[in-house]
Amino acid sequence: MFFQQFKVEGLGCLSYMLGCPLAGRAIVVDPKRDIGDYLDCARTNKMKIGAIIETHVHADHVSGAMELSYQTGAPVHLGTGSPVEYDFKPISDGDEMVIGNVKIKFISTPGHTPNSISLAVTDLSRGDFVEMLLTGDLLFVGSIGRPDLAGGELLEEQIRNAYHSLNVKLAEFPDYVEVYPAHGAGSLCGAGISAKPSSTLGYERQTNPFLKLDFEAFHKELTTSTPHRPINFTHIIQTNIKGAKLLKELPSISEYKPTTCKQFLAADQSRKLIDLREATAFGGAHIPGSLNIGLAPNSATWIGNVVDPVSELLLLGNSRTEVERATTMFRRVGYDDIRGYLIGLNSWILEAEDTGFLPQITVHSLKKVLGKYGNHMVLDVRSPLEWQKGHIDGATHIPLPELIAKEIAADRDQHISVICMSGYRSNIGASILKQRGYKNVYSVIGGMSTWKAAGYEMAS
C-alpha cells in the first residue's frame, strides 16, 4: 500500500494520497487547492489518480477537489446528503472501495458537519484488519472538530452526533489503529490540537480530554469553549458548496505602478493593500492605509481574520516570489480577487508619494514610558489563554479578532502601544488602528516573549 500525508504549514491542513503502485491507481483525500504535489507524487510513483474523497464540506480552506478533478478526470466522492451544488458520487455508511491492495470502508461520522465521513483503511497485502482511520474533522490528535460551523440551529444535534460518532462509531476499532486527521496544529477547526501529525486510537483514548467526558460534560465543553470563527469561514463554506473556481478562471495578476495603485485604491474604499513585509520594514515606511500581514506560514490564517474575503486586493512584497507565495496562500482561504502587486517601496518614494510610519518600540523603551507616563495605554491583542498566563499590569486586553470587529474606548490622540507574543499580531493591530485614525500608535518589537525574557514583572 502506498500512503503519504501532505501538510499545509500555518493552516494545519492535512491531506492524503492512498494507492497501490502495482495496480497503478491512487485516491486523494481532502485535497488542498494547489494540487501540484498530488500530481507530482502520482507521477513519481506511476499511479493514476482515480478518485477524490472529501470527508466533509470544509470551512477553513478552499478545497482542491474541483481543480484535481479537472486535471485528472477523477470523480469527487462525499457523504450522502452533502449540500454541494456540483455532481458528486455519494458515499453511504458501510460502503467500500478497493484499489489494488488497499481496501477502504467508509463510516458515517457526523458531528463536525452533518454529512462527515471517516475512512477505515486496510492494507490487504499485510492482513484483513483495519490499519488506520482517516478521521476527517471528527477526531484530531489531542482534540476534536468543532460542531458549530454547520450553523447555530444545528449545534445541539451536532454535539449529539459528535459524541455518538466518537464513542459508538469509533468504539468498534481496537487501540492499535492509527489515526490520521484532516487537521493538525494551527487549524481553527478545533481547539488545542497537537502538533503531532498522527496518533493511535489507544493513545487518544488515554490522553484526549474529549474522549474522557460523559455527555453532560462534553456538551458543556463544546458550548462554552468554541474557538473564534474567522470572518472568511462562511465565504469558504459557500465556495466549497458551489465548487471552487478553477485557478485558470481567476483574475490575472499584474504589476501596479504608484499612480495606478492610488487610482485603484481610491476608486473603492473596500479595496485593500496588503503589505507582506516584516514588521520593522512596514514600521519604517509604508503606503498610507495599507495593512501589514507579514509573509509567514500563518499569514493565510490572519488575513482570514482581518480582511473581507470578497475584497479586491493588491499585494506589496519584496519580490515577485514573495507575491506568488502569498497569492497561493491567500487563494487557499478564499481570497480569489487579487488584482495586482507592487515590489517594494522604491518607486512609490521616488515619485514623491506620501508614506506612513508605525514606530516600533522595544520592551525596554516601553518599560520607561510606562514609568514616566501613567496614561500610556498598552493594548494586548493576544488570545485569552495567552493573557491568563501573564500580562503587563494595567494593560487593556482586546484579542485581535475582537479589535478587528469593534472600536476601542480611547481618544484618537491617545498614545497606544500594541503588544502580542512576538510582534506579528501587534503590527496587524497597530496598522488597523492607524487606518482608523489613531495618531500615536506603536508596535512592541518582540512582544511579551521579550518582555518576559527581560525579566520585567507580569500580572496574572
**Is residue 372 within a helix (H) or strand (E), and if so which, with residue range?**
helix 363-372
Annotated active-site residue 420? The verdict is yes
* Backbone Cα Rg of the chain: 24
- Least Cα distance to 235 among 168, 293, 309 occurs for 309
Is residue 31 a contact partner of residue 18, using CB atoms and an 8 Å limit? no
Query: Amino acid identity, residue 114?
Result: P
Nearest to 31 by CA among 49, 12, 54: 54
Three-state SS letters, 147-174:
CCCCCHHHHHHHHHHHHHHHHHHHHHCC
CA distances from 331 to 153, 261, 310, 360 (A): 29, 21, 12, 30
Candidate list 13, 20, 189, 420, residue with the active-site label: 420
Nearest to residue 58, comparing CAs of 233, 279, 281, 309? 233
Strand order in the sheet with 313-317: 254-255, 338-343, 313-317, 272-275, 291-292
What are the grid coordinates assigned to 231, written together? Answer: 470572518
Hey, which residues are catalytic here? 420
